[in-house]
Amino acid sequence: MRQSLLRPTRRARHARKSSLLSRPAALAERIERAHALDPVIHGLSDTVVRALPAGSRTDALHGVPFGQPAHPALVRLPLGCWTSAVLLDLLPGTERAAGVLIAAGVAGTAPAAATGLADWSALHQDQQRVGLVHAICQGGAASLFLASLAVRAGGRTAVGRALSASGLALATIGAYLGGHLALRLGAGTSHADQVSHLSGLGWHDLCGLAELPDRHPVRRQLGYLSLLVYRQGTEVSVLSDRCSHLGGPLHQGRILTERGTVCVACPWHGSTFAVADGTVVHGPATARQPSFETRVTADGRVELRPRP
Ligand code: FES
Q: Is 167 in the pocket of ligand 1 (CB under 6 A)?
A: no
pLDDT in tens, 244-297: 999 999 999 999 998 899 999 999 999 999 999 999 999 999 999 999 999 999
pLDDT in tens, 187-227: 999 998 887 777 777 899 999 999 999 999 999 999 889 99
Residues 6+ apart with CB under 8 A from 65: 59
At 16 the three-state DSSP class reads helix
Q: What is the pLDDT of residue 200?
A: 74
CA dist., res. 175 & res. 279, Å (int): 31
CA dist., res. 31 & res. 59, Å (int): 28
Nearest ligand 1 atom to the CA of 269 is 3
pLDDT in tens, 120-176: 999 999 999 999 999 999 999 999 999 999 999 999 999 999 999 999 999 999 999
Quote the ligand 1 centre to 138 CA distance (angstroms): 26
- Helices within the chain (DSSP H only): 2-6, 10-22, 24-32, 38-51, 56-62, 71-74, 76-88, 95-120, 125-153, 157-179, 195-198
Q: Of 138, 93, 146, which is closest to residue 111 (Cα–Cα)?
A: 138
- Do the Cβ atoms of 34 and 20 come closer than 8 Å? no
Confidence class of residue 20 from pLDDT cuts 50, 70 and 90?
low
Q: Is 99 in the pocket of ligand 1 (CB under 6 A)?
A: no
Residues 6+ apart with CB under 8 A from 87: none
Confidence class of residue 3 from pLDDT cuts 50, 70 and 90?
very low
| pLDDT for residue 1 is more than 60 | no
| pLDDT for residue 5 is more than 60 | no
